[in-house]
Chain A
Amino acid sequence: MQCFPAKLLQGRKDGEGILTRSDIEDLILRVAQGNRAAFEALYDSTSAKLFGVALRVLKDRTEAEEALQEVYVKIWHNAGRYTVNGLSPMTWLITLARNTAVDRLRKLRRSADHTQIEERVVDPGIGPEDATIAASERSRLVACFGELPGDRAEAVRRAYLEGETYADLAGRFDVPLNTMRTWLRRSLLTLRECLTR
């Protein structure tokens, strides 16, 4: 493990600097050893992105703040497992943030009354992020989404970013549950084929 810039250890550096992948990896490895300075440096350099992700999923600042706190507590306790999971460091962190936010969102949905669920879920049409995703032509994923029939890509996107379940999606697209499963599994096959091409 190489050392990362010593200045990172010297305290809070709000919003400063962009770390490379190996910088972040080093920080995670140090966090796994219980290094508080590394933990703070990791928080300083990654929390804005993870907060953005939590906000995007939860669409509620208080919920997103609580989710973010939960995420970093998990990072502190699970950093030692990072080395074996095979993910790049930002993917690991973003995945933790996304999954934590989705778990929280699903709990909220379950506890919300029915009318609130309707308000929350029935949100048809294309949100701003659809437009930005469509605009980012660099992304292989977006290109491969283009190979799916229109609403199939939307179903994958909603599962990932809105935490929608098969039941949510079947309701949204007004198809039987098994049909939705079939659509989605086909979509995943197509995507994987395209992504590995």
Chain B
Amino acid sequence: MSDQDQPERDDSVLAGEYTLGLLSADEAAAFEARLNREPDLRVLYAEWAEDLTAMTDDIAPEAPPARVWRGIEADVYGTTARTPWYRRVMLWGGGITAAAALVLVVGYGGLFDRAPLPPVDAPYAAELAAEDRGLVVQALYDDATGRLFVEREAGSAAPGRALELWLIAGEDAPVSLGVLPDDVRAVLAVPDTLRDRFAGSALAISDEPEGGSPTGAPTGDILAVGQVRDL
């Protein structure tokens, strides 16, 4: 058989070769670049992917050992996640930046007339900070009024995402305190049932879909945590 017998290598054949993994690295990269901009080519590829996947129809499922999932968790969450993250927060204790909250109490002039002002005599404070300090939120809480003042010093929600604030009291699972508004400063009303639970607790911020966690528990990454301190 000579080269003249080579069938015309139309795009469908090329897509089939790509799906089978028969292209060279250069050819595959060129094909993928075309896939990104040519919807018709994506259709051809999708046809092959669907059809050739039929070769796996008769492969029996087999449950993988549990260590695989643990490895995945360790990889994508950066932790084995055996200990719930909010327990680990509690374990860290109150050693974090004892002075930071005091910064909040002083120094607010009339720069933002319409923004809420921090309470002057709040008994509790917390600094919630990401490890790289890409997100830093100061919180002051007055248990007499149930008002939780928050100020975002650094960072913001990713586009189309929300920052949700959580209270972790004792051994309990996190309870939502609400989604942080876009405003740099805000006051959140703490529900009566949680009003007395701030002493010795921790606060955390998670990355959530717009509008907040759909499940009532944190679903996204924990972006920042901080121990609540008595002032």
Contact = CB atoms under 8 A, between A and B. Distances in A.
B72 A72 contact: yes
Nearest to B20: A159
Nearest to A196: B47
Interface residues of A, number: 71
B110 interface: no
Contacts of B60: 52
Interface string B1-39: 101011101101100110111100000000000000000
Contacts of A34: 161, 207, 219-221
Interface string A28-48: 000001111111100100011
Contacts of A188: 12-13, 16-17
B7 A36 contact: no
Contacts of A36: 77, 219-220
Interface in B190-217: 207, 209, 214-215, 217
Given A34-B219, A87-B49, A195-B51, A184 B17 contact: yes
Interface in A161-197: 161, 163, 165-166, 178-179, 181-182, 184-186, 188-189, 191-192, 195-196
B22 A166 contact: yes
A165 B54 CA distance: 20
Interface string B63-86: 111011101100111000000000
Given A52-B59, A65-B64, 8 more contacts: A51-B62, A52-B56, A65-B68, A65-B71, A85-B46, A86-B42, A136-B57, A188-B13
B178 to A, nearest CB: 19
A156 interface: yes
A160 B16 CA distance: 10
Contacts of A132: 58
Interface in B166-192: none
Contacts of A76: 72, 76
Interface residues of B, number: 55
Nearest to A9: B215
B154 interface: no
Given A159-B20, A182-B1, A185-B9, A35 B69 contact: no
B55 A43 contact: no
Given A73-B76, A133-B58, A163-B21, A192 B12 contact: yes
B159 interface: no
Nearest to B39: A86
Contacts of A157: 55
Contacts of B214: 3, 35
Interface in A99-133: 99, 102, 129, 132-133
Given A33-B220, A47-B63, A188-B17, A91 B57 contact: no
A185 B61 contact: no
A178 B3 contact: yes
A9 B220 CA distance: 13
Closest 3 CB pairs of A and B: A48-B61, A188-B16, A34-B220
B43 interface: yes
Given A47-B63, A65-B65, A73-B76, A179 B1 contact: yes
